[in-house]
Structure 1
């Protein structure tokens, strides 16, 4: 199978032969975006998602020639009330898989302890202090982006970071992925980057592997653009690329008939 490409709305969609190929394609795109930012500005600012959907992408980043010494890394969300060494902490995910491996110039962490609103305000100020060059994210099983949940996501939010409440479906996803033992111990709230913050980047990359994401991917590309499925807003984002593989694209009959590379 070769790479197959399509455009849905303004969104570029690429179907790769398998998950490792998806990760490699996304890593090449990230390296290009970071390299362009460094060439233009001498540095780059990158937001990187955490979670199982990012594993292949992060592994492939190690194969790319990136000058991490001039890259500042942000992440997308953190649970309220957990420490940075908790097994499910997104701070820990970024620390172990990005900071300790690639040694970027700086990593800006969202803290899960203390006053959540004050932390959201602090992080928003950091995000707004200079342009974001690249956002690398996934799609939740219920179509969320970061923790912007169905029915609550605001496509015109004036905030760039806010306190949110997780839906039960998002909580179940965290249990299903093995991050928590049961629903009872999944935090109910988190600090999350908003949709406008995520889509402000010069380049937006979305990795969505695995069959459990197939329904959300189908809705992302076919449903009406609305916060019923927050990821549908990607179809209005001309600087975004969605990377899929056969399992996550299994419900997309006809979408990839337009072009093959």
Structure 2
């Protein structure tokens, strides 16, 4: 029998089931095992499923572990990603599509991989990608939380719990852009694009199952606000407390303020 990862604590915050681990590696391994179990279960009753992925260093351990799981029928899974910088073409190493292609999209045989192209006319790209999602309801969403409480690129200044769009263009706030430097994705803030395409909050919350992976001390304050603060757009991630099927995974550092 496969040994389960050691969980330090399991808690509930409204509808969120929270699992806390001692290390990032244990967190990522366990999240991947849970995700694989969910995906296999969905595929027992559906011909194919649709999964949306976040692109950030916080997802590294999880994506590495998930891509290594052999007994998932990847050929019945359609892959999407939730945000992309405007101005970056497909395959740009600074792009989110490039990150995900390197971490998982290019490592397992998905039925389809649907990439946002930041180099296209952004209005047309929003329409194109939104149509894809409307035609293929999201079954599973894998996401993180930003240092300012954002999910995808829904920063507090542009988050809208009642957004009528599924994909939109946003101007990134300074805290969000600084995080990209903190994460080592760019050498300085001047290199970080100011505009991006993003899945909206209703789009993300439209997923049937949410797996939220949030390691690291720099995320501790955002985690606390998400789980214990008011549910409103000042901390966009707080909306997850209203979702029926969400599990959040923390390491000891991101959980330190709880």
Matches within 5 A, 1:237-256: 237-252=243-258
Which of residues 125, 149, 154 is equivalent to 1:119? 125
Matches within 5 A, 1:159-178: 159-178=165-184
1:229 to 2:235 alignment: yes
Which of residues 12, 24, 27 is equivalent to 2:29? 24
Matches within 5 A, 1:34-183: 34-64=39-69, 65-183=71-189
Secondary structure, counterpart of 2:106 in structure 1: helix
Task: Compute the displacement of 1:63 (Å).
Answer: 3.9
Query: Cα RMSD over matched residues?
Result: 1.2
Contact (CA 8 Å) 1:75, 1:108: kept in 2 or not? Answer: yes
1:7 to 2:12 alignment: yes
Contact (CA 8 Å) 1:87, 1:179: kept in 2 or not? Answer: no
| Alpha-carbon displacement from aligned partner over 1:234-260 (angstroms, at most 9, x marks no partner) | 1111211111110000000xxxxxxxx
Contact (CA 8 Å) 1:150, 1:227: kept in 2 or not? Answer: yes
Contact (CA 8 Å) 2:67, 2:104: kept in 1 or not? Answer: no
Task: Compute the displacement of 1:3 (Å).
Answer: 3.5
Task: Compute the displacement of 1:137 (Å).
Answer: 0.5
| Alpha-carbon displacement from aligned partner over 1:146-177 (angstroms, at most 9, x marks no partner) | 00011320111111100011000111111121
Q: Which runs of 5+ in 2 are unaligned?
A: 1-5
Task: Compute the displacement of 1:103 (Å).
Answer: 2.0
Task: Compute the displacement of 1:130 (Å).
Answer: 2.4
Q: How far apart are the structure 2 equivalents of 1:114 and 1:88?
A: 16
Q: Which moved more, 1:189-198 or 1:98-107?
A: 98-107
1:215 to 2:228 alignment: no
Task: Compute the displacement of 1:40 (Å).
Answer: 1.0
TM-score normalised by the chain length of structure 1: 0.93
Secondary structure, counterpart of 1:191 in structure 2: strand
Q: How far apart are the structure 1 equivalents of 2:162 and 2:52?
A: 20
Q: How far apart are the structure 1 equivalents of 2:130 and 2:22?
A: 38
Task: Compute the displacement of 1:37 (Å).
Answer: 2.0
Give the aligned length.
252
Contact (CA 8 Å) 1:12, 1:238: kept in 2 or not? Answer: no
Secondary structure, counterpart of 1:78 in structure 2: strand
Task: Compute the displacement of 1:85 (Å).
Answer: 3.0
| Alpha-carbon displacement from aligned partner over 1:2-51 (angstroms, at most 9, x marks no partner) | 44111111111111221111111211121122112211111111001111
**Structure 1 outlier segments of 4+, above 4 Å:** none
Task: Compute the displacement of 1:131 (Å).
Answer: 1.9
